[in-house]
């Protein structure tokens, strides 16, 4: 039965990691979303919410102390990778205010989510 619980935690962790990668890809591709000439920052809202929730979900799914770092790191790798230009000059994440807010707001919310999800050390008793 312990082997089943171990595999369940591994599969759960992989699914949460895949959700982090998928959310990063969707947020980057929805960054230039417009209605007419008005930019809609829906990708920024998605990044702010999901980057706070995914580290806690990863900790709950796996039970590992350092697992909350995984979704935040994967999100950063995908977003930074898609923001770099290719030799042809193509850039997926635009350099406008929505793209910058997605990059920096998402990174800040990921750091907050990881800090909030990490278990607190046990209180030390004085001598």
Tens digits of residue pLDDT in 70-81: 999 999 999 999
The dihedral sign for the CA sequence 108, 79, 17, 39: positive
Q: How confident is the model at residue 1 (pLDDT cuts 50, 70, 90)?
A: low
**Under 8 Å CB-to-CB from 116, ≥6 apart: which residues?**
52, 55, 56
Written as six digits, the tokens of 34 are 């417009």
| Domain residue ranges of the chain, discontinuous segments joined by + | 2-117
Q: Tell me: the pLDDT tens digits for 9-47?
A: 999 999 999 999 999 999 999 998 999 999 899 999 999
Q: For residues 13 and 103, give the distance between their C-alpha atoms in angstroms, rounded to a whole number.
A: 24
Q: What is the residue whose two structure tokens read 């000439």?
A: 37
d(CA 33, CA 98): 9
- pLDDT above 70 covers a percentage of the chain that reads 94
């Amino acid at each position: 039965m312990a082997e089943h619980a171990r595999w369940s935690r591994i599969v759960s962790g992989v699914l949460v990691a895949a959700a982090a990668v998928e959310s990063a890809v969707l947020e980057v591709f929805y960054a230039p979303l417009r209605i007419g000439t008005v930019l809609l920052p829906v990708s920024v809202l998605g990044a702010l919410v999901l980057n706070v929730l995914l580290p806690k979900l990863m900790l709950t799914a796996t039970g590992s102390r350092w697992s909350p770092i995984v979704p935040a790191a994967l999100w950063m790798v995908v977003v930074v990778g898609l923001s770099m230009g290719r030799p042809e000059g193509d850039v997926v994440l635009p350099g406008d205010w929505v793209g910058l807010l997605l990059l920096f707001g998402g990174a800040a919310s990921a750091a907050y989510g990881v800090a909030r999800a990490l278990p607190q050390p046990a209180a030390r008793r004085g001598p």
